[in-house]
Amino acid sequence: MISRDRWSSDFSRWFEWILEEAEVYDYGRYPVKGMGVWMPYGFQIRRRVTEILRELHDRRGHEEVLFPILIPESLLKKESEHIKGFEDEVYWVTHGGLDPLDVKLALRPTSETNITYYESLWLKSYKQLPKKYYQIVSVFRYETKTTRPMVRVREITTFKEAHTVHSSFEDAERQLLEAIEIYKEFFDSLAIPYVISRRPEWDKFAGALYTIAFDTIMPDGKVMQIGTAHHLGQNFTRVFDFRINMPDGTLDFPWQTSYGVSDRVIASIISLHGDDRGMVLPHRIAPIQVVIIPIPAGGEEEKRAVLEEAKRIAGKLERAGIRVKVDDREDLRPGAKYYYWEARGVPVRIDVGPEELNSKVYTVVRRDTLERYKVSEESLEREVQALMKDIDSSLYARAHSRHRSLIKRVRSEGEAEEWAKEKKGILELPWCGREECARKLEEKLDAKALGTVWPGERPEGSCICGRESVAWMRYAKTY
């Protein structure tokens, strides 16, 4: 059992504590490193997050598919940059039972290769394009950096990968804008703040022309990549000899994009909206939105009456479409129940005791500020709905104001070095566009170049080398 730690001062221990305490994700006990178990409560959160993803992709014409988990070596190796980027992260299946396989099979680290192979069989004409597929699956990466629950796992269990095909470079570029819109809407709906950067050439996805990334700032000030979108050009379609009939009558290789998010999104929700008591969940993804605690007093009969009243109220809220739970456990005192549900991030709590039984005015407590309200029966549903929305906007406001306060724009190396003393959040500095200068700063600041502000913005001021700047380059300590 990990002891309770402070969200603000010892974030990484807090994160491990809350996953266990709130029974979200059992990590570290599984006998394979980098793999965890989604427990029932965590699974409910995860399921609601994937439902949002499905809705967002379906609404914009993406079609859900499911590809095999094994990719033969020959397919995975087709695109040379891609395999160069992934070869030291692939798990290989080499045997079937006792027999060595003639072709090694990879546990997919991502699915560009096997999906492109099928696209080349299915798609013959520009008239079938654009085509947008996605799947939500497990992928496997033999990560060598420090593994962490949800954040850097070796089985990524909630990998939403979208793969699209287009008849022109420009149309693929437009698709990236749509991907960015989808992710903006997704993160906004979960109150997760982000910055969008164009990753530097040397840090783009293996096999891509360029990569646009979403990053968020974790409570400890370190930055985490929470989503990426790649323009793949014709890199994969060429090597798969995937040609289509083009509008001008020629045969040519189509253009592709891919974009993905993972379990890291759930890690961000838990982390960014947490506090010393545990999680605070946005109501859309909260498995339980309202918990009702019967406050016993007096004799058995009164106890029964209070429980009946709690259930009656629960029924009313349920009929209004709210996810409610009455905590009728006999062996726990109300204080222990408060603690229990606060850790699990239930947005609203209602206390029902003998007094409420008579007055029909209930004590309602919001999880984020722990403020209490007296609410009468007639307005209970309305007030609870309003309160949940209000909690969501407060989570949004709190996370975004913290996020903004951790982005620092400077124009001189001196100020950059000042920032490097603490290295909290993101630093932005004018950049001339040459790798050499970014590398120099990475070393000097002991931080990573995240890429340039997207959409592009030309700063006033010059790069550390004295040349005119072409973009703002971001630096941060990263996960």
Q: Is 260 in the site for ligand P5A (CB under 6 A)?
A: yes
Give the x/- contact pattern for ligand P5A in 129-148, rule: CB under 6 A. ------------x-x-----
Measured from the CB atom, the residue of 189 and 462 that comes closer to Zn ion is 462
Helix or strand or coil: residue 427? strand
Give the x/- contact pattern for Zn ion in 450-469, rule: CB under 5 A. -------------x-x-x--
Q: Is 256 in the site for ligand P5A (CB under 6 A)?
A: no
Q: Is 258 in the site for ligand P5A (CB under 6 A)?
A: yes
Tell me which of Zn ion, ligand P5A, none is bound by residue 383, counting a contact when its beta carbon lies within the kind-specific cut-off of 5 to 8 angstroms. Answer: none
Q: For 28, what's the count of Cα atoms within 13 Å in the CB-facing half-sphere?
A: 11
Q: Is 207 left (phi over 0), alpha (psi -120 to 50) or beta?
A: left
Measured from the CB atom, the residue of 225 and 289 that comes closer to ligand P5A is 225
Strand order in the sheet with 70-72: 70-72, 99-107, 92-96
Q: Is 216 in the site for ligand P5A (CB under 6 A)?
A: no
Residues in the interface with ligand P5A (CB under 6 A) total 21
Buried/exposed 240-267: b ≥16 CB within 10 Å, e otherwise: bebbbbbeeeeeebbbbbbbbbbbbbbb
Measured from the CB atom, the residue of 193 and 200 that comes closer to Zn ion is 200
Q: Is 114 in the site for ligand P5A (CB under 6 A)?
A: no
Give the range of 91-99, 221-229, 247-255, 393-401 binding ligand P5A by CB under 6 A: 221-229
The nearest distance, CB 459 to Zn ion, in angstroms, is 12
- At residue 100, what are phi and psi to the nearest 5 degrees? -65, 140
**Cα–Cα distance between 245 and 243 in angstroms, integer?**
7
Q: Where are the alpha helices (DSSP H) in 231-376?
A: 235-239, 264-272, 300-319, 334-343, 354-359
Q: How many CB atoms lie within 10 A of CB 467?
A: 14
Residues in the interface with Zn ion (CB under 5 A) total 5
**Cα–Cα distance between 319 and 317 in angstroms, integer?**
5
**Cα–Cα distance between 2 and 250 in angstroms, integer?**
64
- For residue 348 the two structure tokens come to 């609203």
Q: Is 187 in the site for ligand P5A (CB under 6 A)?
A: no
Measured from the CB atom, the residue of 365 and 432 that comes closer to Zn ion is 432
From the list 11, 183, 259, 396, which residue makes contact with ligand P5A (rule: CB under 6 A)? 259
- Using the structure block, give the residue that is written with the tokens 């960014």: 272
Bridge partners (DSSP) of residue 132 are: 164
From the list 285, 432, 450, 476, which residue makes contact with Zn ion (rule: CB under 5 A)? 432
Tell me which of Zn ion, ligand P5A, none is bound by residue 364, counting a contact when its beta carbon lies within the kind-specific cut-off of 5 to 8 angstroms. Answer: none
Q: Which of residues 188-207 bind ligand P5A (CB under 6 A)?
A: 205
Q: Is 156 in the site for ligand P5A (CB under 6 A)?
A: yes
Residues lying near Zn ion in the complex (CB under 5 A) are found at 432, 437, 463, 465, 467
Residues of the shown chain interacting with ligand P5A in the complex, contacts defined by CB under 6 A: 110, 112, 141, 143, 152-153, 156, 161, 205, 225-228, 230, 258-264
